[in-house]
Amino acid sequence: MTGERHVPRGIDVTRPNVARIYDYLLGGKDNFAADREAAMQLVAAIPDVGAIARDGRSFLSRVVRYLVTEAGVRQFIDLGGGLPTRDNVHELVQALAPDARVAYVDNDPVVALHGQALLASEGRVSMVLADLREPAAVWDHPGVCSLLDLSRPIAVLCTSTLHFVSDAEEPHRIMADHRDRMEPGSYLVLTHANIVPPEEDPDGDVSSATGVYSRASAQLHARTLTEIERFFDGFELIDPGLVWIPEWRPDPGVPPLGRVKSLRAGVGRKP
């Protein structure tokens, strides 16, 4: 049994939660019955969705390695990183650079409470309750501005998050606000669900996933390649550009676990 006996006050565990669905797909234990049911509906619609989630974690490992060892980044903000699980950003980062600092940001009270408890003994790491849709609340939060030196370059990670922000909430304006708060030499890491032509999605996977998430805490908003590229306005895309997740600097001899055409991934540097 997972977490049903330890439900924080005011938390609706009868409604599937995006972070907890993802936790279940990655083999985590911090989820409830409604989350597991929604996850199984996703698996029924997209059998390799769990493998795609693990490919996303593999991308995260590769991009962190690039940012630390090649770009020299020592400060990270993980926007909407979800529940702490295997291969967390701070673990990946600090294995390469023990002095690096990581601020996790999430608007889910369950995620924030769990993260704060889990990370209480960790140095150079914070977990703050804030919403990426309110950049000022993120960048002015004591858990961010007291941990990080905002006058120096920072890598902002926004993986599998923006496709849960609707067009009505103006995600491009939101990310432009985040960009304007980043110092030159900072990086944006983004993964996003991509609308593909019907002939490339014969099974209607995007529509199926959208249907499942319509009953969850946030809805899925897949976007066109052009719309995803707009998030990198004001950044210089790092080679190989905006590509499918398994195509972003893959490790030699390590094939993807799921399909290649799943989520788009890109890394941009603010000049």
Q: Which pLDDT tens digit goes with each residue over 86-138?
A: 678 999 999 999 999 999 999 888 778 777 877 766 779 999 999 999 999 99
Residue 77 pLDDT greater than 50, yes or no: yes
- The answer to whether residue 18 sits within a structural domain is no
- The answer to whether residue 86 sits within a structural domain is yes
Residue 67 pLDDT greater than 80, yes or no: yes
The answer to whether the CB of 252 falls within 8 A of the CB of 224 is: no
Total domains, the chain: 1
- The answer to whether residue 12 sits within a structural domain is no
How many other β-carbons are positioned within 10 Å of the β-carbon of residue 166? 13
Top-confidence range, 19-33, 109-123, 219-233? 219-233
What does the alpha-carbon distance between residue 264 and residue 194 come to, in Å, rounded to a whole number? Answer: 6
pLDDT at 1: 38
CA neighbor of 73 nearest in space, from 54, 97, 52, 95:
97
The answer to whether the CB of 157 falls within 8 A of the CB of 89 is: yes
Percent of the chain with pLDDT over 70: 85
- The answer to whether residue 209 sits within a structural domain is no
Take residue 16 and report the two structure tokens written for it.
Answer: 């599937």
CA neighbor of 101 nearest in space, from 65, 143, 133, 161:
143
Q: How many helices (H) and strands (E) does the chain have?
A: 10, 8
**Residue 127, SS3 per DSSP:** strand
Residues 41-54 have a mean pLDDT of 79
- The answer to whether residue 68 sits within a structural domain is yes
CA neighbor of 78 nearest in space, from 167, 191, 224, 185:
191
- The answer to whether residue 22 sits within a structural domain is no
What does the alpha-carbon distance between residue 93 and residue 65 come to, in Å, rounded to a whole number? Answer: 7
Q: What is the 8-class DSSP label of residue 183?
A: P
Return all residues near 267 (Cβ < 8 A) that are at least 6 apart: 63, 66, 67, 187, 188, 189, 190, 237, 238, 248
The helix (run of H) or strand (run of E) holding residue 135 is helix 135-139
Take residue 186 and report the two structure tokens written for it.
Answer: 């900072």
Greater model confidence, 201 or 155: 155
What does the alpha-carbon distance between residue 180 and residue 190 come to, in Å, rounded to a whole number? Answer: 16
What is the model's pTM? 0.83
Residues 227-239 have a mean pLDDT of 98
Range of the domain at 84: 54-200+223-269
Greater model confidence, 2 or 59: 59
Out of 51-60, 76-85, 100-109, 173-182, pick the least confident. 76-85
Q: Domain holding 236: CATH number?
A: 3.40.50.150
CA neighbor of 73 nearest in space, from 160, 180, 156:
156
Take residue 155 and report the two structure tokens written for it.
Answer: 């890598």
Greater model confidence, 16 or 172: 172
- The answer to whether residue 126 sits within a structural domain is yes
Residue 252 pLDDT greater than 70, yes or no: yes
Greater model confidence, 1 or 63: 63
Work out whether strand 75-79 and strand 125-129 pair parallel, antiparallel, or are unpaired.
unpaired
pLDDT at 108: 83
Residue 66 pLDDT greater than 70, yes or no: yes
pLDDT at 2: 43
Residue 214 pLDDT greater than 80, yes or no: no
Residues 238-244 have a mean pLDDT of 97
Tens-digit pLDDT profile for residues 142-151: 999 999 999 9
265, amino acid identity: A
pLDDT at 51: 81
- The answer to whether residue 212 sits within a structural domain is no
State the average pLDDT for the chain. 85
Q: Which band of pLDDT confidence, cut at 50, 70 and 90, is reported for residue 200?
A: low
The answer to whether the CB of 242 falls within 8 A of the CB of 232 is: yes
pLDDT at 116: 80
